[in-house]
Amino acid sequence: MDAYEELLERLKNIDLISQIGGLLGWDQEVLMPPKAAALRAEQLAWVSKTGHEATTDPRIGELLTELEAREDLNDVQSANVRLARDSYDKATKLPTEFVEEMAKHKSQSLISWQKARAEDDFSIFRDDLAKMVYLARQKADYLGYEELRYDALLDIYESGLTVSRVDPLFAGLRENVAPLVKAVVERGERPEMGFIENNSWSQSGQESLSQSVSEALGFDFAAGRRDASTHPFCGGPNPDDVRWTTRYSETDPFGSLYGSMHETGHGLYEQGRPRNLDFQPAGQANGLGVHESQSRLFENQVGRSREFCEWALPIWKENFPENMEGVSAEDLWRAVNLVEPSLIRTESDEATYNLHIMIRYEVEKKLIAGEIEVDDLPDVWDDMYEEFLGIRAPNRTLGVLQDIHWSMGAFGYFPTYTLGNLYAAQLLAKAREDLPDHDEQIRNGDFAPILDWMRSRVHARGSILEPAALIEEATGSPPSPDAFVEYLQDKVKRLYGLTA
């Protein structure tokens, strides 16, 4: 067998193991009975151990060395070799027993986080989180780093990402975005929110609304499904099986709708991956920053546009006729774009969202570096919210317990959300050049042109290129925050009559 064919066969087996683990993880968060938690931890640990053993098989290293010496590989083949090398090098640095331990603890930690969040009691999660932090530090040490331990964790989620790259990014956003937030707050003008805040919103109506919008955006429910979970997410093993979740609150219909649109964006990306590259690294989505660009684009830059609100208003009225009586598209547009410091990241507005990410980033840097410990976290979290957003959580559920990521050991993940915002704005700016009728298409509920553009420029390209190179190929320019800042300034100016 040719070395490349043998490599692909081994990579397919590794991918299948990962797909099985993903389905077990989805079931754990959506359907699994509580008493199955201990067994599920064992199952997931076995899957992780088996996948790690397959990934670190010395034969893969031999095949990669042989293929790296060849000069006849095409772009896809070269990408598969590059990505397999990165995965192999990272995996061989992690002992199998460590991978098994981390997988087992992840399952246990997720359960204790859910319980702590539901009961507003940080102490329930405290010990599991402390162990997860210890394991994350250990993982960074195994992987290795040049400057900061946290750099090793950032690189897991976005290749080449480091503190030295991220710090200036957040500094630049603070300089340009913080003044917008301050100007809006000082102006003291709040859109009419009574129709939202003074009504109760049935879960059945929210489910119908979310389903209708997701279908209209282009999500194929014959190849996917929608469910409810504690924390919204998108998973599934293959473009033929993509699963996303949202959560519902009878006091806030925006949370479920825009959570659904966010996860639909992820799902559209997964369903659009190149099918001729199934089971190959080059056919996977291109890093979390690019993935997040698709979710943020459909959630915010499409979903919070004036044109989208005009299209969606009849669907709102169909599902909530009494609540939406007398509400105009203008009212809806202003309400969904309320700029106001808030406690919950997933429900925050576009102007403050990156401040939520910045807080988590700063906390993680200190935590992984050992500058703060787990017992310090609740108060450090609240202090930073007071410093950067001027608000303080009344309880731990709305504070340090709101995100699932740390229970899963996903330290270094949060900055990719901000990268996604920047990529989304840059992609849409270029798409608008190619789609001069974009606004009218959205107003008419014709989402096919923007989805087709993303399919050809982003989804179908898989991971053949590095993330930054993909953005440059799609837009003609390297990644930059300029398009996002311009987009946000323009929107806030129109909403609040500001010139800043």
What positions carry a catalytic annotation? 263
Q: Based on the number of CB atoms within 10 Å of its own CB, is 362 exposed (0-12), middle (13-18) or buried (19 or more)? A: middle
DSSP 395: S
The tokens for 345 are: 């990241």
Region for 273 from its dihedrals, namely left if φ exceeds 0, alpha if ψ lies in -120 to 50, beta otherwise: beta
Place of tokens 């250990």: 138
Strands (E), 187-324: 224-228, 234-238, 241-246
CA 496 to CA 475: how far, in whole Å? 30
DSSP secondary structure, 26-68, as one string: HHHHHT--GGGHHHHHHHHHHHHHHHHHHHT-HHHHHHHHHHH
Place of tokens 């098994």: 100
- Based on its alpha-carbon atoms, the radius of gyration of the chain, rounded to whole angstroms, reads 22
Q: List, in order, residues 6 or more apart from 415 with CB less than 8 Å away.
A: 154, 157, 158, 161, 166, 169, 357, 361
Q: Based on the number of CB atoms within 10 Å of its own CB, is 37 exposed (0-12), middle (13-18) or buried (19 or more)? A: middle
Phi, psi of 169 (to 5 degrees): -60, -50
* Pick from 47, 48, 57, 43: nearest CA to 9: 57
DSSP 269: H
* Pick from 283, 286, 281: nearest CA to 80: 281
CA 392 to CA 383: how far, in whole Å? 7
Q: List, in order, residues 6 or more apart from 442 with CB less than 8 Å away.
A: 302, 305, 307, 308, 311, 450
CA 105 to CA 127: how far, in whole Å? 11
